[in-house]
Amino acid sequence: MANAREALLDSALAELAHRPWSAVRMADLAAAARVSRQTLYNEFGSKDGLARALARREADAYLQGVRRLLAAPAPPERNLVAVAEWIVARAAVRPLLRALLTGDWNERLPHPRPARPGARPAPVPAQRRADLGPPAPGELVAQTAACAGEGWATGCELAVRVALSHVVAPALPGDAQCAEPESWSPMTPAITRLIETILSVETTSPRKTMP
């Protein structure tokens, strides 16, 4: 039922673009995905389970994207800058990822927590993993840094934290600050140059790796 599960998650994500999580109805999601409500509950157990699955898929897709960028045939420091730029651009258009990275959950989003202790394990393996709960922001940053390998983990964490500072307080012309995602600009060239400069200085040591 992997296809049905993905279709249901896609439907839930699409619904979030138009209404708050509290107004999302399970019956509507099943109809949009063209599956029965029983299938929906078999996959996720409950609306809370669906919220956990949404967050887990978002975190997994984010980490997969980081790994793809880090594997590009380019100097490692350039790949780390690409990761930082990608995080800013992706977080600007994906509120669920922004919440996972910053811990800033607003009333429009589901705020999934782990399944309650002692709850019966979900029959679907993917849901059992999701029911452990989404990674906390610090945990997700650590997982991102680990994608770069031991030699570049510190540099990757630096790039991610600079990116997140821009996600939380995006810089606009004239040093204005704006909290509305619709008006966020891409990462400024100045921040990109800053990351490149720091990584370049760090990698001129004889070890050629981040400390």
- Does residue 179 surpass a pLDDT of 50? no
Taking alpha carbons only, the member of 83, 105, 82 closest to residue 95 is 105
- Establish if 85 belongs to a structural domain: yes
For the chain, the residue count is 211
Model pLDDT for residues 2-56, shown as the tens digit of each residue: 788 999 999 999 999 899 999 999 999 999 999 999 999 999 999 999 999 999 9
149: in domain? yes
pTM score of the predicted model? 0.84
Domain membership flag for residue 150 = yes
Which residues are 171's β-sheet partners? 177
Residue 39 lies in a domain: no
Work out the number of other CB atoms within 10 angstroms of the CB of residue 22: 9
The number of distinct structural domains making up the chain is: 1
What's the pLDDT band for 170 if we cut at 50, 70, 90? low
pLDDT tens for each residue of 106-159: 999 998 989 998 889 999 999 999 999 999 999 999 999 999 998 889 889 988
Give the pLDDT confidence score for residue 28 in this predicted structure: 93
Domain containing 154: what range? 45-202
Q: Quick check: is 11 in a domain?
A: no
If you compute the radius of gyration of the chain from its CA atoms, what whole number of angstroms results?
19
Q: Is residue 88 part of a domain?
A: yes
